[in-house]
Structure 1
Amino acid sequence: MRRGMKLGIYGAVLVGLVGGCVAWTAVDKTVTLKVDGQTRKIHTVADTVDGALASAGYKIASHDVVAPDANDSISNGQTVILKRGRLLHLTIDGTSRDIWVTAPTVADALAELGYSSSSFASVSRDKRLPLDPTTITMRTPKDVTITVAGQPMQVKTTQATVAGLLSQYDIALGPQDQVSVPLTSAPVEGEQILVQRVTTGVIKSTVPVPFGVTSTKDSTLAQGNLKITQAGKPGTATVTYSVVYLDGVIVGRSAQSKTVTSAPVDQVQVVGTRNPAADAAAAAAAAEAAAADAAVAATVTPGSAKAIAQKLLAARGMGDDQFACLVKLWSRESGWRVNASNSSGAYGIPQALPGSKMAAFGSDWRTNPATQIQWGLSYITGRYDTPCGAWGHSQSTGWY
């Protein structure tokens, strides 16, 4: 080949190469990508933002944010920002919701949603959010008042339960302590939580022991009258109680034992039973009966009484000798008067003591000489065998 022709060919090739480089240089662009806060530079021949991102391996999703707009043209040296969307399954104070964010970290996402760092999050705030859905449980701070043993305190909490809240503030519960809300319940904004300390103990107390009263009836004392012959005096006892305290105040107690330390002294009293009206009526009746008895007795002479006695003695097989002794005996005792009486209460011809004994031989014992003599003979024979035996005893002692 001729030299001139060679030079021509070489020239044509060189021109083609130079022209191609100029054309490629005019199409290639250097673009800065900021994806989720991370920066990198790429070379691309794409004409649009979407194409540039695609050339770098990024596909724009519906919840992504890109600037400039995906359909805008791209130029050399331009910066493209892509914030990819993340789905959060949020449960906030028990309420669930799904929300899309473009923040790259948990902390950025929660700040973007308006939750302060004081809110509880079940996932570390330093964690970068993946493109896959993330589940996060949130608890916002609650202002709560806790009153323990009467002392209130204002606190903030993000605890899930009241039990966790009490533990957060080192409030330990005793086995019998009472809490106004269930320990498993969630704290509520503005809630008043009352913790009452329940304890038990033993105390001793001195108590009075009442005295008893012993009453006897006195027919000589008018009704309604009371005569105390021995004053009563209360005793004392020590009682041991099991007690229950609520915040230091006793709310319940039960006696366990009682020991008498000083015995009581009973009161002794006499209660009057005499009815003045009844006494007056009885006195009048007695006076009337006495008058009647006296009237009847006046008709009975000692001689007639002796005659009755002699007959009754004969009926018992006793002769005049025994009758003579009987006459002497009862002449000394009563003078053979049916209404003879003395201060001792003896009454009648035989001076029965008391006179009412003769009622065994008849209800007319006050006025009937036969009734009195029958009782007298029964008494004499039962004790002395014969009237002379009774008279002998009376001679030596002055009574029979």
Structure 2
Amino acid sequence: MDRHLRTPELLIDLDVVSRSYEALTSQLPGLTVHYAMKCNPHQEIIGRLHSLGCRFEIASAAELDELRRIGADPAQVLYSNPVKPVAHIAAAHAAGVWRFAFDGEEELDKIAAVAPGAAVLVRLSAHQIRSGVPSEGKFGVDADTAAALLLAARDRGLRPYGVAFHVGSQMLLAHAWRAPLRAVARVMDKLAAESVFLQMVNLGGGFPARYCAVNLPPLSDYATAIGIGLAGLPYPVETVIEPGRAVVAEAGTLRATVIGTAVRHGRRWAHLDVGAFNGLMESLETGNELRFPVTDSRCDARRDRFHLTGPTCDSQDTIMFDVELSAGLRAGDEVYLGCAGAYTTVYASRFNGFDPPAVRCVSGVTLETSGDAAYSR
């Protein structure tokens, strides 16, 4: 790598993407993977996943356009955003998407109007268990309402196809899937009494990535908990998952340059050329609890603790507190944030005029350090 390539730069190791996808498919048998485009839709990432047989989930018609560019079949895409612009529904349906999520009657009216005969999955609210990146509460209904909505879909000429839910992002408790699956069973029982039988349960995402100091449960724990839940359903259905973070987070390393250091009130601060508003918004979303593994190019034996902050004038633009780095860290050194492949570039803005990270995909990359520069090979 050219040592003078600008930062911030997000390096994505496509081989790690492949290994993560293959781990999910092998250790969660019987579950079809639909990669969540919202997490990181970079063309080389989705191209690699498509070549491995992965399917996809979208939240907008623009994401479908990205998939069509790599040759993905729209008929295998799930449109899981429960509330969608009418124009997006119409465009997706015209392209061949036929399965849409919803959680209200007005959404059913929109789908029936521009995607007649489409199959629909009702979004069920998940039992609230705090995840590492809390993200639930905006969507979803209870089991009784879900059953009533699917009957309302039938009355509008739509196909009552399934139930979907999401337990929350970066879920470290494998049993989180069991309570929602019990609710799914209640929905299925209610519908069976009306001679309506579902074909799919969408278990959503939430499978975690290995951030700093996180001990992940093995995927076998998730497989066991999900298997118990599925065994309690009144009849077998197709089951799908929509992972994002678990596929791409660990593949990403964010290269940043120190633009300045300072001591304030006895604490050392390192200002980087990347921050919450141009790539690391999840730092704010989690109250700075999401901790990325961090190293630096100086590699001093002497260590000190720094507050890592971004380049903007906003005081909220701080990534992590009390990060151990080289004591001699100074302007011009590089800092490397691992596990940065998920939700970085997609959240990035140009707030204060600072650039979002450039993305460079590689295979089999190992970051090494020498003096004040880093390179890959």
TM-score by length of 2: 0.18
If you compute each CA radius of gyration, which structure gives the higher value, 1 or 2? 1
TM-score by length of 1: 0.18
Q: Which has the higher strand share?
A: 1
